[in-house]
Amino acid sequence: MVNRVHHETSSAIQPAPGSADRGVVPIELVDSLRRERDHLQTLVDVTNAVLSTLQIDDLVEEVARAIYSFLGVDYIGLSILDAESGEVHSHSVLFSADGEAQKQVTHYPKGHPSARPGGLGKHVVIAHRNELVQLVGDYPQFAALAEQGCQSLCVLPLMSSSKSLGALVLAYRQSAPIFSDNLTLLRQIAARIALALDNALAYQEISRLKDRLANENLVLSEEISNYESFDEIIGQSPVMSMVLEQVRIVAETDSSVLILGETGTGKELIARAIHNLSPRKKHRLVTMNCAAIPAGLLESDLFGHEKGSFTGAAAQRMGRFEMANQGTLFLDEIGDIPLELQPKLLRVLQEREVERVGGQKVIPVDVRVIAATSCDLPQMIAEKRYRSDLFYRLNVFPIVVPPLRERPEDIPLLAQFFTQKIARRINRTIESISAESIDRLMHHPWPGNVRELQNVIERAVILSRGPVLTLPQTDLQYDASVPIPGPVAEARPAPVQRKAPQLDDSTESERERIIRVLRETNGIVAGPKGAAARLGIKRTTLLSRMQRMGISVKSFEELD
């Protein structure tokens, strides 16, 4: 049977009869004092070891050295219980005959026999030979010790505030009473290790939370810096109305979405709209631009990494998938993911679990993926530069964001929005946009789409000196006799070709111009086809001028 020790064993030191009279110190007393000195020195070494580091790997090695130097124990292991997951992490050091140490870390998942409470030491267990064979049958983690020729085993519980942290496991290649004879010392060592382990685990948790907070702050900073300068979707054109209807429909589901469109069309804005309308809106939207991260760091950024997994990995880091757990992960420029990384991304999308770089632990994730690209993925598949299975996994619900040239009727609204937003930011007062500028904006092909429009408006706001925004003559040069190519001509027929009224026409008074435009728009003031847009001013500005000039909208409502 396995010997289970429940109490301390101690022996009083008694001098030999008559020794004091002779003035000779008995050899037993000398041995006892020497032994007590060695015990105290070992405790000092262990205490110094546990106080010198908060890293568990370093803690195990330092403690192992101290115990080995005194007891000559061949194996020292620290089995640590993860109270949250139920897993057991075994950190061990095995000494060879010449004293060389071999370190090893083994993880036992919840439910594994070696993760059962008995294997962690609810009480002291000492076993020899046949008793060790019995333990090997119950706890496979001890099988490796038997294979190494160990014949004696000692398991001591590590307790902190009545909470089990794990066990200290010691093994010896000889069948000798080394553990029974030094049990008091071993209990004291275990108590010090438990205190140090409790501190190390607390430090690890604090470090993990600190790293997580730093990562979240980094992601938040990236999101703020990459966030489009508009905070709502601007557009009333038929093509944008169709896109927004698709957004509303797919947002209610949990399906993957692939957003396609030219650069600068606002694909990230569509992704945010899907997230904000979805059941996941209470959780985070994590964004990642796959083209902005070096290929060598992309895997670590996506899936995370363990400490020491590669040069520069000074601490454990969560990946974007873990950060987005229960929320949404937006992968922008998905076409720029390297070919060798695509199978790993596909596996995560299929299995809904990740493994950090350098780690062995499988981490389940509940993430909705929205991807976007300006690349021609079918063409890349034909050229063997993109995996077709990954494309089909992402392309569950495609949404095509139209380029700005296919929705020119949205340009006056966007121009007005950007003008007011940028003017407020740089402390300028701009009340309207000249009609000539609106006309030039609507005739430009916009290869850079909404982003280009925003930059053009910002430059115009900076250069404008009065309350009316006017584009510099060097900007957006075009030939009015050349028709707008392709889809723009279909999306915007006659109104684009019609010259908007000039506010600076000296032959016509301001009141006459407003009345004429109101007649042409049948009294419609607001909207992309309204009088305010044609005059290049805000709706509120036009209404204020009409009220000042005594012009009534009702008198134009019935005009043909």
Domains in the chain: boundaries: 3-203, 231-402, 405-556
Q: What is the DSSP letter of 74?
A: S
CB contact at 8 A, 267 and 228: no
Average pLDDT, the chain: 77
Please tell us whether the domain made up of 231-402 is placed in CATH 3.30.70.890. no
* Of 243, 339, 333, the residue nearest 293 (C-alpha): 333
Integer angstrom CA distances of residue 259 from 320, 335, 371: 19, 12, 6
Spatial distance between the Cα atoms of 438 and 548, rounded to a whole number of angstroms:
25
Q: What angle do CA 15, 16, 22 make, to 5 degrees?
A: 100
**Joined tokens for residue 449:** 């789409």
Spatial distance between the Cα atoms of 56 and 59, rounded to a whole number of angstroms:
5
Q: Is the pLDDT of residue 559 over 60?
A: no
Spatial distance between the Cα atoms of 121 and 126, rounded to a whole number of angstroms:
11
- Compute the average pLDDT of residues 189-209: 78
Please tell us whether the domain made up of 405-556 is placed in CATH 3.20.20.80. no
Q: Is the pLDDT of residue 131 over 50?
A: yes
* Strand pairing report for 152-160 and 163-172: antiparallel
Q: pLDDT (tens digit, 9 = 90+) per residue, 173-182?
A: 877 777 878 8
Q: Which residues contact 530 (CB under 8 A, 6 or more apart)?
A: 521, 524, 539
Q: Is the pLDDT of residue 246 over 90?
A: yes
- Compute the average pLDDT of residues 470-497: 47
Least confident among 398-402, 476-480, 496-500: 496-500
Q: Is the pLDDT of residue 481 over 50?
A: no
Q: Helix, strand, coil shares of the chain as percentages rounded to 5?
A: 50, 15, 35
List, in sequence order, every residue forming a beta bridge with 353; answer none if it has no partner. Answer: 364
Sign of the alpha-carbon dihedral angle for 476, 480, 481, 484: positive
* Of 474, 476, 477, 496, the residue nearest 485 (C-alpha): 496
* Of 129, 229, 232, 124, the residue nearest 185 (C-alpha): 124
Burial of 31 (0-12, 13-18, 19+ CB in 10 A): exposed
Sign of the alpha-carbon dihedral angle for 144, 147, 150, 154: positive
Q: Is the pLDDT of residue 132 over 70?
A: no
Query: Percent of the chain at pLDDT above 70?
Result: 77
Q: Is the pLDDT of residue 70 over 60?
A: yes
Spatial distance between the Cα atoms of 240 and 86, rounded to a whole number of angstroms:
51
Predicted confidence at residue 488, as pLDDT, reads: 32
Q: pLDDT (tens digit, 9 = 90+) per residue, 253-300?
A: 999 999 999 999 999 999 999 999 999 999 999 999 998 888 778 888
* Strand pairing report for 317-318 and 328-332: unpaired
Element (H, E) at 418: helix 411-425
The CATH-assigned architecture of domain 3-203 is 2-Layer Sandwich (3.30)
Predicted confidence at residue 402, as pLDDT, reads: 93
